[in-house]
Structure 1
Amino acid sequence: MFVLVNLKAYDADPVEVASAAADVDAESDTDVAIAPQTADLAAVADTGAETWAQHTSPVESGSHTGQPLAEGLARNGAVGTLINHSERRLSLADIDGAIAAAERAGLETVVCANNPHQIAAVAALGPDAVAIEPPELIGTGTPVSQADPAIVRDAVEAAESVDPDIDVYCGAGISTAADVEAAADLGADGVLLASGVAKADDPATALQELIQ
């Protein structure tokens, strides 16, 4: 099971969360990764935690102010990147360009989508994984596996119909071990979460409880 903790722009200590993630990862069979703000990539990578970027722009080296270059992300310790998160939507053409940029820099890719139809569309672009994240459930504490389990099953089927080897992750509202287990039961290979860990008083305990 893959667990990717997106720190978004929360007022969390990225090094503290990353250190906890590295410890939990080492002590369990769960692959735990952290996606911090771009400015914190190097510090998070230095903890030994698997480090992901929150976004990669579909650009090559050149005059692109304010757009994170894939090679720069990799140079600062990122091993993968989210693409098309619901809070950073891209056109299909730009998703394709961002995947190409990430591949150029050797970054793994997880492309987010709202529904099974979009999952099939982005799966066809060849990312390493896709993630189903209904935007209306993000940050609510109500997991998609509970609110609409059919959408997770349908997303898994949609992705597999395009590429049987692609991983499918489940996001939106994931915050407990039961949520993770429910996602796995519905066919997901991993989960994306944010506030359940990033806003926790004790991120280490939150992570440990999450993967029990």
Structure 2
Amino acid sequence: MAIEMKYVFAINFKSYETAYNNVALEIAKTANQLSSKYSNVRIILSVPSVMISKIINIYDDIYLQHIDPLDYGAYTGFLSVDSLKYLEVKGSLINHSEHKIIYRDIEKIVKKMKELNKESLVCADTPGEAAGIAYLNPSMIAVEPPELIGSGIPVSKAKPEVITESLKAVKSVSNIPVLAGAGITIPDDAIKAIELGSSGVLIASAVMKSKNPNKVIIDFVEKMNSV
């Protein structure tokens, strides 16, 4: 599924308490307001599946955090990729470092999501993994060194070569947007990632653990929109 080329600001709610309470709804309201105001930044909210029905009434550019490489069947506790046909989401994160899956399962999910006209944002730990994923032609790839996730140490400053090498590796295979993630804490971290060539950022704790998450989102989007 083709992605409209604008900068992407993706927020992974994870399973923080704020992913389930009124903070999540306020974040969705802020995302909706900013999306109407700023045309150069696409805001994606990656939410827990149990929150879809609440958030979709406020903001519609939402992803699942994970989907399982399963058809319909007797799979208690799993979320079948086929179920996306009935879920009001734009797509899903896949292969996050906190929920890794094997390559052939990534391939199955990406293929099925294309058939369902849904987007796939596949995470990679390294430039090498990003290159391998690029052959599957997902909608987007997010490169996140796991050791920096939640550290407050931005990949764009601590390991800029991870971004540049990933971009080079992916672009040698396909023209897929590449996001930078891990430790992205302030807007300048996102700007640095963009300057290095990324199409945006994937963040989590900088928003979800903030005392004022809506201000964080506004600051990021305003800064990214000005690039």
Is the aligned partner of 1:3 residue 2:9?
yes
Residue equivalent to 1:151: 162
Shift of 1:125: 1.2
Alignment-mate amino acid for residue 177 of structure 2: D
TM-score normalised per structure 2: 0.89
Give CA-to-partner distance per residue, 1:31-66, whole Å, 9 cap, x none. Answer: 111011110012111112410110111111122222
Q: Which residue of 1 aligns with 2:93?
A: 82
Q: CA deviation at 1:104?
A: 3.0
Q: Which moved more, 1:58-67 or 1:85-94?
A: 58-67
1:117 aligns with 2:134: no
Match of 2:104 in 1: 93
2:201 is matched by which residue type in structure 1? V
User: Displacement of 1:74 after TM fit?
Assistant: 5.0
CA contact (8 A) 1:7 1:198 kept: yes
Check whether the contact 2:60–2:89 (CA below 8 A) recurs between aligned residues. no
Structure 2 residue runs of 5 or longer lacking an equivalent are 1-6
Unaligned runs of 5+ in 1: none
Are 1:102 and 2:113 matched, yes or no? Answer: yes
CA deviations over 1:99-138 (Å, ceiling 9, x no partner): 1232233210111111111100011112111111000000
C-alpha distance in 2, partners of 1:61/1:76? 14
CA–CA distance in 1 between the matches of 2:213 and 2:86?
27
Deviating beyond 6 angstroms after TM superposition, the runs of 4 or more aligned structure 1 residues are: none
Matches within 5 A, 1:118-197: 118-163=129-174, 165-197=175-207
Paired positions, count: 211
1:26 Cα deviation after fit:
1.5
**3-state DSSP of counterpart to 1:31:** strand
SS at match of 1:170: strand
CA–CA separation in structure 2 for the residues paired with 1:155 and 1:76 = 32
Q: What is the alpha-carbon distance in structure 2 between the residues aligned to residue 72 and residue 42 of structure 1?
A: 15
Q: Is the 1:4–1:32 contact (alpha carbons within 8 Å) kept by the matching residues of 2?
A: yes
* d(CA) in 2 for partners of 1:161, 1:123: 9
* From 28, 42, 54, the counterpart of 2:65: 54
* TM-superposition CA deviations, 1:57-94 (whole Å, max 9, x none): 11111222222123434533210111000000001111
Aligned to 1:59, the other structure's residue is in SS state coil
Farther off after superposition, 115-124 or 199-208: 199-208
Give the Cα–Cα distance (whole angstroms) in 2 for the partners of residues 85 and 167 of structure 1: 17
1:53, 1:73 within 8 Å by CA — same for their partners in 2?
no
Tell me if structure 1 keeps the 8 A contact 2:70–2:82.
no
CA contact (8 A) 1:58 1:99 kept: no
Output the aligned Cα RMSD: 1.3
CA contact (8 A) 1:60 1:101 kept: no
